[in-house]
Amino acid sequence: MTATGQPALLEVDDLVVNFGTRRERRRGLKPNAVDGVSLTVGPDETLAVVGESGSGKTTVARCVVGLQAAQRGTVRFDGVQVGPVGTRTPATRRAVQMVFQDPAASLNPRMTVRAIITEAWRTHRSVAPTDRTWDAAIEDLLNDVGLDAGIAARRTPSLSGGQCQRVSIARALALRPRLLVCDEAVSALDVSVQSQILRLLVSLRASRGLAILFITHDLGVVRQIADRVAVMQHGRLVETAGADDLFDQPTHPYTRTLLDAALDLEGA
């Protein structure tokens, strides 16, 4: 259940991930990258997971989408326990989509934008357009993410970073996901472009009924998008609160340190 009493769309319970060898784990020689993390995301909710580099937040995201296996703990989506991506049903793989930090690296530079999107439909035929041409559906998708239809014929090396990230979002939306996992999705972009992408995500969440798990090291972007915030340090979850409560009355010293650092940067 979520804090509002709704059934959770995503439930992560006591997640533990350690990248050491089995012998190292048995002897306790390597600390856990993720150490007993539990969190929930409700339908139509945005949860931001915040922490410095190495805090374990991206590893949690990779477990949620099935790109990383855990040594212990469970991930449930819509009440059903899910594991690595190869063990998931096509419907679950489609329903949980990830937007990566570096859009240029996550998109094939040899493919046109049209080919990138249609490749997703060829993999998941159940959500491919059936009552209209694919080109018309692609035009609608590009329009939804603020791109001109002419971009469909271009390859990603000719696009800006912000345009590439919009293409990444369009590719994810093509599969009609219920949960979007954004891993530092704006950190590689200029500040002005960051704000545009954040506003786009807020708009898409409302129009498409999306839940969002938003991974970031930057508290400066959190207030623009998050309903709740989970703070991670050294693999552990140290504080979870509503966004306004966390900014106004943080309870953990590490959270206060992050907030102070963000304020210092804003005043610099």
CATH assignment of the domain containing 221: 3.40.50.300
Which residue intervals of 85-149 are DSSP H helices? 90-95, 103-106, 113-123, 134-144
What does the pLDDT read at residue 262?
A: 72
Query: Within a 10 A sphere around the Cβ of 233, how many other Cβ atoms?
Result: 21
| Domain span holding position 62 | 10-109+178-267
Give, for 73, the enclosing helix (H) or strand (E): strand 72-77
Domain count for the chain: 1
* Cβ atoms of residues 40 and 213 within 8 Å: no
Helix (H, G, I), strand (E, B) or coil at 194: helix
What does the pLDDT read at residue 159?
A: 94
Alpha carbon distance 67, 63 (integer Å): 6
Alpha carbon distance 117, 100 (integer Å): 16
Residue 27 domain-assigned (yes or no): yes
Paired residues of 79 in beta bridges: none
Residue 139 domain-assigned (yes or no): no
Q: Which residues contact 174 (CB under 8 A, 6 or more apart)?
A: 117, 120, 121, 127, 141
Task: For residue 226, count CB atoms less than 10 angstroms from its CB and return exposed for 0-12, middle for 13-18, buried for 19 or more.
Answer: buried
pTM of the model: 0.92
Query: Within a 10 A sphere around the Cβ of 21, how many other Cβ atoms?
Result: 11
Residue 158 domain-assigned (yes or no): no
Residue 165 domain-assigned (yes or no): no
Residue 40 domain-assigned (yes or no): yes
Alpha carbon distance 38, 75 (integer Å): 9
Low-confidence stretches of the chain (pLDDT < 70) are 1-5, 20-29, 131, 263-268
* Cβ atoms of residues 210 and 177 within 8 Å: yes
Task: Name the phi and psi angles at 211, rounded to 5.
Answer: -100, 150
Residue 120 domain-assigned (yes or no): no
Alpha carbon distance 203, 197 (integer Å): 10
What does the pLDDT read at residue 250?
A: 92
Using alpha carbons, select from 65, 74, 118 the residue that is nearest to residue 95: 65
Q: What is the pLDDT of residues 93-143, one digit of tens each?
A: 999 999 998 877 889 999 999 999 999 999 999 999 986 789 999 999 999
Residue 3 domain-assigned (yes or no): no
Alpha carbon distance 43, 148 (integer Å): 30
